Amino acid sequence: MRYLVIVICLGCATALLCACRSTAKVSTLEVVPRVELDRYIGTWYEIARYPNRFQKDCFATTATYDLRDDGKISVINRCRKGSPDGAEKVARGRAWVVDPETNARIKVQFFWPFSGDYWIIQLGEQYEYAVVGHPDRTYLWILSRTPQMEPALYARVLERLREQGYDTSRLIVNGS
């Protein structure tokens, strides 16, 4: 009887592991080689994003970053609820670099003890745009220093995202 229970448990465990195993091969998400934080801080305008629960019904979204005295980064995200003229919603948080070799892998925290990965995967030479992703590709933001992005640049960003394994058809363009 004991032998039968062990065999059944092992069988169930094997079946569970096989069912959970991903069949898709997705490459590791690459970050940019280096981010100069003093150039990255400031205000960014969201051009597009993947849908997420914490930005539901958000329009005219901005993110403002500032270096703190303790070496961390203050984060202030703003959006308009329901429409570009809606009431302002503000979320304040903090961030810290987890990969000082590149400064491109960052953790962001709005509610303790939860934090999320913020990986800078594309960055303009003049820091005029940035693309932020998550290692498992569940989150994505296209950011610009200006409220609009040149169509040709946006097309290049989308092409690079597809090369990086992102489904660009899921993007919500800010304001739409």
DSSP class of residue 55? G
User: 100-120: per-residue pLDDT in tens?
Assistant: 999 999 999 998 889 999 999
What predicted TM-score, i.e. pTM, was given to this entire model?
Answer: 0.83
Torsion (CA) 167, 120, 45, 60 in degrees, nearest 10: 50
Structural domains of the chain, ranges and CATH numbers in brackets: 37-173 (2.40.128.20)
**What SS3 state is found at 168?**
helix
Tokens of 87: 């009431």
CA distance 166 to 170: 9
Residue partners of 140: CB distance under 8 A and separation at least 6 = 49, 50, 131, 132, 133, 134, 161, 166, 170, 171
Neighbours of 143 (CB within 10 A): 25
Residue partners of 90: CB distance under 8 A and separation at least 6 = 76, 77, 78
Q: Which residue has the higher pLDDT, 101 or 9?
A: 101
Tokens of 126: 């003049």
pLDDT tier, 17 (very low <50, low <70, confident <90, very high otherwise): very low
Tokens of 70: 């303790």
Whole-number pLDDT of residue 54: 86
Q: Does residue 5 carry a pLDDT above 60? A: no
Whole-number pLDDT of residue 18: 37
Let me know: does 81 contact 61? Beta carbons within 8 Å: no
Tokens of 110: 């709005």
User: For 34-62, what is the mean pLDDT?
Assistant: 95
CA distance 146 to 129: 9
Tokens of 130: 């940035």
